[in-house]
Amino acid sequence: MTLFDGETRSWDEVRDDALACTNCPLWEPAGDTVFGEGPVPARIMLVGEQPGDQEDRQTRPFVGPAGKVLDDALAEAKLERSELYVTNAVKHFKFVQRGKRRIHQTPTAGESKACHPWLRSELDLVKPELLVLMGATAAKSILGSSFRLTQHRGEAVDSDAAPIVTATIHPSAVLRTDPSEREQYFASLVADLRTAQELAGLR
Ligand code: URA
């Protein structure tokens, strides 16, 4: 999809356009588009799945429980969040309402595709040296539906999205797994973040 007819747009202009996005039905029940945040350009860009309940309320990526796991993992991997650009493959919260609670639903491939032009625009503007895709939705959005996270996590994968592209688990996987495995999952996320920096020569 050509969004901007080859025009060069600033990050603010692209974000403002994304705020008015109706490319898929997710915009209607959700709050505002949750665009990425961080320095532009940035050496490292992280991509998650989609905003959750807290992110939708605060219109910022990774500020809820998964964001806390991410912040802890970044601290362990000696990465400063303020130096990273953090965004999501899908920029509206997909949920089902159960009483007062809004329960997260995984976005479809079609919803991810509808949001892809925004992610590509962010990549064009941020120009990261290292792109870290967190979870299957982010990984498939950039690397295609045949990409298998379980087989290739932590590796440098071939992609035109950035000089070094790697994929790892989503921080929420640490929260979803059995408590007896949480420490191990968290340690593996930190290890992948460290390896990614090494692959990109940033450590
Ligand atoms: N999960 C994500 O993938 N992104 C967020 O911003 C929050 C939770």
Question: What is the spatial distance between Cα 32 and Cα 152, in angstroms, rounded to a whole number?
Answer: 34
Distance 55 CA to ligand 1 centre (A): 7
User: Which of 32, 86, 88 for a ligand 1 pocket mutation test, highest count of atoms within 8 Å of Cβ?
Assistant: 88
CA atoms within 13 A on the CB side of 1: 11
- Mind listing the domains of the chain with CATH numbers? 2-199 (3.40.470.10)
By residue count, the chain amounts to 203
Q: Nearest-CA neighbor of 149 among 49, 75, 69?
A: 49
Question: 130-175: per-residue pLDDT in tens?
Answer: 999 999 999 999 999 999 999 999 999 999 999 999 999 999 999 9
Average pLDDT per consecutive 10 residues, the chain (203 residues; last block may be shorter): 64 97 96 98 98 98 98 98 98 97 96 97 98 98 97 97 98 98 98 97 90
Residue with token string 């290739």: 152
Residues whose beta carbon lies within 6 Å of some atom of ligand 1: 48-52, 55, 61-62, 64, 66-67, 88, 170, 172
Distance, first Cα to last Cα, the chain: 37
